[in-house]
Amino acid sequence: MIKFTLTIFLLIFFLPGYTQQPKPVLLKDIVYQKFSLEKNISYLGDLKTDRKQKYYTLDLFSPKTDSAALRPLIIWLHGGGFKFGTKKSKGTPLWAKNFARRGYVCAAINYRLSKKNTLFDFADLIAGCIDAIQDTRHAISFLKADYKKFGIDTNFIILAGNSAGGMIAIQSAYTSEAELAKMTKRPDSNTLSISHNPDRIAAVVNFWGAAFDTSWLKNSRVPVVSVHGTKDRVVPFMQKSTPIWGSYFIHQKLEQLNTPNRLKAYEGYGHEIQKHFNPIFSGRPAKKRWREAADFAAEFLYQELFR
Nearest to 201 by CA among 222, 216, 219, 217: 222
pLDDT at 239 (0 to 100): 75
Q: Which DSSP category does 191 fall into?
A: G
**What pLDDT is stored for residue 11 in this prediction?**
43
Q: Which helix (H) or strand (E) holds 73?
A: strand 71-77
Q: Reduced to 3 states, what is the DSSP secondary structure of residue 237?
A: coil
Low-confidence ranges of the chain (pLDDT < 50): 1, 4, 6, 8-15, 49
Report helix, strand or coil for 24. coil
Q: Which amino acid is at 196?
A: H
The predicted pLDDT at position 47 comes to 59
Q: What is the DSSP letter of 245?
A: B
Residues 71 and 103: beta-carbon distance below 8 Å: yes
Distance separating alpha carbons of residues 36 and 24, to the nearest angstrom: 20
- Identify which of 84, 99, 101 has the alpha carbon closest to the alpha carbon of residue 205: 99
Contact 277, 285 (CB under 8 A): no
Whether this model's pTM surpasses 0.95: no
| pLDDT tens track for 21-68 | 689 999 999 999 999 999 999 999 765 545 577 899 999 999 987 678
Give φ, ψ of 215 to 5 degrees: -65, -20
> For the chain, which domains are there?
31-306 (3.40.50.1820)
The DSSP secondary-structure symbol of 108 reads E
Direct distance between the N- and C-terminal alpha carbons of the chain, in angstroms, rounded to an integer: 50
Is residue 107 within 8 Å of 75, Cβ to Cβ? Answer: yes
Q: Which helix (H) or strand (E) holds 36?
A: strand 35-42
